[in-house]
Amino acid sequence: MLLAFISWIWIGAAAFLCGFLVLKCIFPQKLGKERSLDLYLMTGLCVLTVYAQFFSLFYKVGGVSTVILMIGCLAILLILRKKVWKYCREQIETTKWYWLLFLIVLAGVILILTIQYTFHSDTDGYHAPSIRWIEEYGVVKGLGNLHHRLAYNSAFFCLQALFSMKFAVNQSLHTMNGFIVFVMLCYAIMSLSIFKKGERIKSSDLIKLCIIFYLCMFDNRWQISSPGSDISALSMILYISAKWCELWEDKCEDIREYGILCLLAVWSVTLKLSTAMIALLAVYPGIQLIRQRKWKQIGLFLAAGMFIVLPFLARNVIISGYLIYPYASIDIFDVDWKMPLAMVEGDRREITAWGRGMTARENYDAPFSVWFPIWFQNIGAGYKVVFAANLFCVLYTVIHGLACLRQKKKLWAFSLLAVNVVSFVFWFISAPLIRYGVVYMLIPLALLSGKLLAGWKYSWLPKAGAAVVLTAGVALLLKTVSFYGSIPWKRPVEYSYHEVDQRQLGNVTIYVPQPPDDTVGYQYFPSTQHVWVLDYLELRTGSLKDGFCIRKEYEGAEWR
């Protein structure tokens, strides 16, 4: 627990200083109380993710990258020391004692959940091995050939590798999701206005309750210790939507404020590709900047967006040979390490089919009339109600949008609802796995409810509902803590060990799972989940750091 706490301090300090510098550059004359600490931290995490990805293109992410980052943070602190100190002092002075007590208790609870063994089934499958490759080599050509799930290039893995501290503590820490959950819950709870006397119903409050609901009442509370990308990416969608609503409710006219959230939306896409539709939020500030002829700001935000996404795309090409994996239709690079087309297409179809509940390979191409009844039957009664309510949201958005077009009214007023409805539709038609869809179904309902009830004062009923959500969230977190028998006070629990076998690939030993297990995990490196893949592979140059390619005689072969 002590190491995890130190890790959080280092993550928070680095994120705050990097975020402070970036927002200082964007808002040189406007930096103070109005900029919330959570926005500094989220902006900083975005910057750190981009840094880790760029660094991985040239070298392994470990001691060197940490030393350079420390030097950079010290430089920022020295240059902006007066402004940093002023901001920190104001935050401390304006925070009530009971909020400080709340922060300490919440931090303790989340830390306990962070340091436990990893529950997520995919962690040993590809989360932890991906992080190990980044720690050892940065990025390796054709890594997806060794195991196709290693081609799921989430920028989150680079961010976690940057703060895993393996070079210093002889253990790879998995504390990033815990830190993000802590920040998200602090923001959602401490900024709620629903209990204030005389306040009117706000969409931002409803989405903040969704943040609490999502992080505390689903399997996420069991997966805080895992370095998966789901929690970070999906909670970012909730966070961006809540902050966007706050700007509208405060009648903010500074387009740069919306622009920052759009950059965070682009960052969330690099964390998890299925969040891609949230990037459509950039349409609104883009149109506004064009109307105002602010070409310098347009260029700044476009350059920043490209800077965020560029290392993600570069890593995609290096790992799989494709610009966006697993979409082989975007095939513009002719490299010798490219993953076979059949493997990529098979993986894409498998992702879609599993999301639809069609786990048998022969049913991967089942039509809507076949898979939808099966999917709908298996999602549970509560999800069925929420899904049906979202269909009403889709209908309302379409009708309202057409009415605005006919009457030549501005469409931007409900652009956030429209984008989240599009995200819901995209999730449903692509891979409607229900644990991802919770967020996509919650936000449209919260936004539409807030829109329909706007102007009404909070009565006892919504206050009671909010109190129930908060109480249930806290109770579930505490219940999860009580599940663990003991607390490791010094070091977090390490990644799991598995029984493995060894195979040779050239002069390199590759670890493979020992049946009936189907994962190898972090500890044995390098590894693959499928031993049969080694029959088709070869090292590009005989060296592990130069990557893998398919043997010439097997190019175009059928894949299992």
φ, ψ dihedrals at 479, nearest 5°: -65, -40
Token representation of residue 369: 């009339």
Asked if residue 517 lies in contact with residue 110, where contact means CB atoms within 8 angstroms, the answer is: no
Distance of CA 168 to the CA centre of its chain: 26
Whole-number pLDDT of residue 408: 60
Cα torsion through 283, 246, 426, 340, rounded to 10: 80
Distance of CA 47 to the CA centre of its chain: 14
φ, ψ dihedrals at 106, nearest 5°: -65, -40
Whole-number pLDDT of residue 299: 92
Token representation of residue 199: 């306040």
Q: Which residues face 505 on adjacent strands?
A: 508
pLDDT in tens, 401-434: 787 777 666 666 678 888 999 999 999 998 888 8
Q: What share of the chain is helix, strand, coil (3-state, %, to 5)?
A: 65, 5, 30
| CA–CA distances in Å: residue 13 to residues 72, 77, 231, 503 | 12, 10, 21, 43
pLDDT, greater one: 408 or 59: 59
Whole-number pLDDT of residue 140: 96
Closest residue by Cα to residue 477 from 187, 180, 222? 222
Residue 455 above 60 pLDDT? Answer: yes
- The pLDDT confidence band at residue 33, using thresholds 50, 70 and 90, is very low
Q: What angle do CA 219, 61, 228 make, to 5 degrees?
A: 10
Give the chain's largest Cα–Cα span: 74
Asked if residue 136 lies in contact with residue 167, where contact means CB atoms within 8 angstroms, the answer is: no
What is the mean pLDDT of the segment spanning 118-132?
A: 90
Residue 31 above 50 pLDDT? Answer: no
Quick check: helix, strand or coil at residue 505?
strand
pLDDT in tens, 507-555: 899 999 998 888 999 999 999 988 989 999 999 998 899 999 998 776 6
Residue 397 above 70 pLDDT? Answer: yes
d(CA 320, CA 336) in angstroms, rounded, equals: 10
pLDDT, greater one: 139 or 198: 139
d(CA 163, CA 21) in angstroms, rounded, equals: 20
pLDDT > 90: percent of the chain: 56
Q: Which residues face 503 on adjacent strands?
A: 510
Residue carrying the six token digits 């995890």:
4
Question: What is the DSSP secondary-structure string of 530-550?
Answer: -GGGGGTEEESSSSGGG-EEE
d(CA 46, CA 305) in angstroms, rounded, equals: 11
- Any idea which of 52-56, 147-151, 335-339, 364-368 has the lowest mean pLDDT? 364-368
Asked if residue 415 lies in contact with residue 282, where contact means CB atoms within 8 angstroms, the answer is: no
d(CA 413, CA 227) in angstroms, rounded, equals: 37
What is the mean pLDDT of the segment spanning 252-257?
A: 86
What is the mean pLDDT of the segment spanning 374-401?
A: 90
Task: Tell me which amino acid residue 80 is.
Answer: L
Whole-number pLDDT of residue 4: 93
d(CA 230, CA 219) in angstroms, rounded, equals: 11
Residue 110 above 60 pLDDT? Answer: yes
Report strand pairing: 500-505 vs 537-539.
unpaired
- Domain residue ranges of the chain, discontinuous segments joined by +: 2-264+293-329, 500-554
The dihedral of CA 232, 238, 244, 246: what is its sign? negative
Residue carrying the six token digits 């998200």:
184
The dihedral of CA 374, 375, 378, 380: what is its sign? negative
pLDDT in tens, 187-244: 999 999 888 776 788 889 999 999 999 999 877 888 899 999 999 999 999 999 999 9
d(CA 522, CA 540) in angstroms, rounded, equals: 24
d(CA 508, CA 102) in angstroms, rounded, equals: 52
d(CA 340, CA 321) in angstroms, rounded, equals: 9
Residue 558 above 80 pLDDT? Answer: no
d(CA 437, CA 428) in angstroms, rounded, equals: 8
Distance of CA 140 to the CA centre of its chain: 23
- Any idea which of 252-266, 302-316, 374-388, 449-463 has the lowest mean pLDDT? 449-463
Cα torsion through 400, 406, 407, 412, rounded to 10: 50
Distance of CA 395 to the CA centre of its chain: 29
d(CA 235, CA 526) in angstroms, rounded, equals: 32
pLDDT in tens, 335-367: 999 999 888 988 888 888 888 888 766 677 888
Token representation of residue 163: 């703060």
Task: Tell me which amino acid residue 331 is.
Answer: D
pLDDT in tens, 478-494: 888 888 877 888 888 99
